[in-house]
Structure 1
Amino acid sequence: MKIKNIIFDWSGTLVDDLPAVWRATNEVFQKAGVPELSLDEFRKEFQLPFNSFYQRFLPDVDMEQLEIWFHGSFREKQDLVDGLPHAREFLRFCRDRHVRTFVLSTASNEHYQVQASKTGYGKYIDRPYLGVWDKRKRINAILKENDLHPDETLFIGDMEHDIDTAKHGGVRSCGVLTGYNKMHQLKAAEPDVLVEHLGELRERLQRDGMRLAKNGSRSDSEHPVPTVGAAIYNDEGKLLLIRTQKWSHKWGIPGGKIHRGETAEAAIIREVKEETNLVISGLRFIEQQDVIDPSEFYRAAHFILLNFDSRAHGLQQVLLNDEGEDWNWFEPKQALELDLNHPSRRLLEKLGED
């Protein structure tokens, strides 16, 4: 069936409030006299319903007091919250296709109103359900109140709890890699679809006429995808590597899909510019790889990967787009000691043999 209704999680799905929530939580921990969490530790440990999270770390502090501390701190940090990439375009996509839209979130009405006003997203939401600690306990009532058919309804979220909520309501589920949970956590929850961001989901729904093909289904991956990658060396002979969520946070070379009408060389120059801000030259084709359902990638896929090496001359500044998490220049031998994704390791080992 076609998707006619979409229920969004808010935090980590439409807006990026992770830095603000993490910092506010650490201020709560400070007041309670317990050690703070690093961002990675917070993402690993945080869970919904969030009272379960606090019960594990601060069992002796009253929940009402924790709420007072948290919201007081969060108000001071709310200017850090902004819309996620692709969210506005996805909401417009839904509006243009007369898809009914809802928000089901733990966020308070106070914080939602501030963020919805700042981002302008509020006008695209038909009805928000806010301050819901356990979404599993509300999903069925929401379906009934709004006469939503489960087979025509999609729940989109960034946490295991969101996927569990979708299953509890018998609706379709989509995990997005833009928020709190990391890829392995979302994969373990077994959503119907796992996407890097809402832009990818928009493309899939548009391609399939608002029908949702599960990851790895024939309609999702009928043909291999031609892609390009590049080992990039600077004037000191160091190699640029980046880390991305979609490759399980492993280090790898920049790259991406070849667009229709584009040569492989033009594609890698464009992809590198988009992903890193670097202008590369001296392209040399190295090898083709058949990358079939790589376990490190966030979904089943078949790539025909054309790999090059290249040069980035001068004092160019690396600026990652929203896909990248981290970057660095490495000595080639040092790079091989890193936790690399398999296609990148194979390329670097081949370059080391030349």
Structure 2
Amino acid sequence: MRNGIRHIVWDWNGTLLDDNHANLAAANHVCEMFGVPPMTLEDWRKIFRRPLVPFYEELLGRPLSDEEWQRLDAAYNSYYQRLLPSCRLADGAVDTLHQWRRAGGTQSLLSMAAHDHLVPVITEFGLVSHFTRVDGRQRTTDADSKAEHLAAHLDAQGIDPATVVLIGDIDDDAHAARMVGAKAVLVATGLMSRERLEATGHPVADSLTEAVQLVHG
């Protein structure tokens, strides 16, 4: 990465939080509801994408009505929340956050998880003090992408996107960074396979430590 990066926007699920098992279990709960065979984590990492509605329609093999989508979304989130207490921070997460601060950088957190669910979890893990701002999803957009949320997140802080790198675990993170004029580093420890991440053309790391090393570049 080029010099000039002063701010990291961290993704949460699959990046700072190791919650793959909870996401997979919630997805398989949905599959059971709709009579579809369960997936392995490898299966999920090969096919998961945004927007979510067409992804689930492909997974379930048919269109979803608005009512069915609402039921699916509620069931997934409810099942995930039951498993959330079993989730832990990703390896090296706390040390990585400390090191970036000691190096003089700033950092914030932006997630597509619901804001009202996100903030208590960040607080429980004792991470709030690391971030200049924490934003979860507070509205739904037709595009179902992080791009619009990232633009608002940076604008609220008065941060120049040219000084920002977004560290996340799916190709939508790369898309969001590109759309606002920021950089991206992707970690291959979350919900998308390394091959799919590499196809974005952005640097891919195998750990949070390596991701920040790529930022320092």
TM-score by length of 2: 0.85
> 2:126 is matched with which residue?
120
| Pairing of 1:231-270 with structure 2 (within 5 A) | none
Equivalent pair of 1:48/1:161 in contact (CA under 8 Å): yes
> 2:51 is matched with which residue?
49
Output the amino acid matched with 1:40. Answer: E
> 1:311 is matched with which residue?
none
> 2:171 is matched with which residue?
160
> 2:93 is matched with which residue?
87
- The superposition leaves residues 70-106 of structure 1 with CA deviations (integer Å, 9 ceiling, x where unpaired) of 1221121112211001111111122223422222211
Once the two structures are TM-superposed, the CA of residue 33 in structure 1 deviates from its matched residue by: 2.1
Equivalent pair of 2:185/2:205 in contact (CA under 8 Å): yes
Unmatched 5+ stretches in structure 2: none
Equivalent pair of 1:81/1:115 in contact (CA under 8 Å): no
Output the amino acid matched with 1:19. Answer: H
Matched, 1:77 2:88: no
Output the amino acid matched with 2:148. Answer: K
Q: Which moved more, 1:154-163 or 1:1-10?
A: 1-10
> 2:64 is matched with which residue?
60
Once the two structures are TM-superposed, the CA of residue 154 in structure 1 deviates from its matched residue by: 0.6
Output the amino acid matched with 1:163. Answer: A
1:146 & 1:49 partners in 2: Cα distance? 27
> 1:288 is matched with which residue?
none
Higher percent of residues as strand? 1
Matched, 1:96 2:106: no
Distance 1:185 1:110, change over 3 A: same
C-alpha RMSD over aligned residues:
2.0
> 1:186 is matched with which residue?
197
Once the two structures are TM-superposed, the CA of residue 69 in structure 1 deviates from its matched residue by: 0.7
Once the two structures are TM-superposed, the CA of residue 130 in structure 1 deviates from its matched residue by: 1.0
Q: Which of residues 186, 196, 209 is equivalent to 1:199?
A: 209
Greater than 4 Å deviation, 4+ residue runs: none
Output the amino acid matched with 2:34. Answer: A
Identity, % of aligned positions? 25
Once the two structures are TM-superposed, the CA of residue 45 in structure 1 deviates from its matched residue by: 1.2
Matched, 1:26 2:37: no
1:53 & 1:125 partners in 2: Cα distance? 32
Distance 1:149 1:103, change over 3 A: same
- The superposition leaves residues 215-265 of structure 1 with CA deviations (integer Å, 9 ceiling, x where unpaired) of xxxxxxxxxxxxxxxxxxxxxxxxxxxxxxxxxxxxxxxxxxxxxxxxxxx
Distance 1:49 1:88, change over 3 A: farther
Instruction: Give the SS at the match of 2:32.
Output: helix
- The superposition leaves residues 273-331 of structure 1 with CA deviations (integer Å, 9 ceiling, x where unpaired) of xxxxxxxxxxxxxxxxxxxxxxxxxxxxxxxxxxxxxxxxxxxxxxxxxxxxxxxxxxx
1:202 & 1:136 partners in 2: Cα distance? 21
Decide which structure has the larger Cα Rg and report it: 1
1:198 & 1:180 partners in 2: Cα distance? 15
Instruction: Give the SS at the match of 1:148.
Output: coil
Equivalent pair of 1:15/1:83 in contact (CA under 8 Å): yes
Output the amino acid matched with 1:170. Answer: G
2:147 & 2:72 partners in 1: Cα distance? 23
1:119 & 1:48 partners in 2: Cα distance? 27
Equivalent pair of 1:139/1:168 in contact (CA under 8 Å): no
Equivalent pair of 1:135/1:162 in contact (CA under 8 Å): yes
> 1:7 is matched with which residue?
9
- The superposition leaves residues 100-128 of structure 1 with CA deviations (integer Å, 9 ceiling, x where unpaired) of 22222111234423432343223312212
Residues matched between the structures, number: 206
1:126 & 1:4 partners in 2: Cα distance? 13
Distance 1:141 1:3, change over 3 A: same
1:202 & 1:167 partners in 2: Cα distance? 18
Unmatched 5+ stretches in structure 1: 206-211, 214-354
Distance 1:114 1:52, change over 3 A: farther
Instruction: Give the SS at the match of 2:112.
Output: coil
Distance 1:97 1:52, change over 3 A: farther
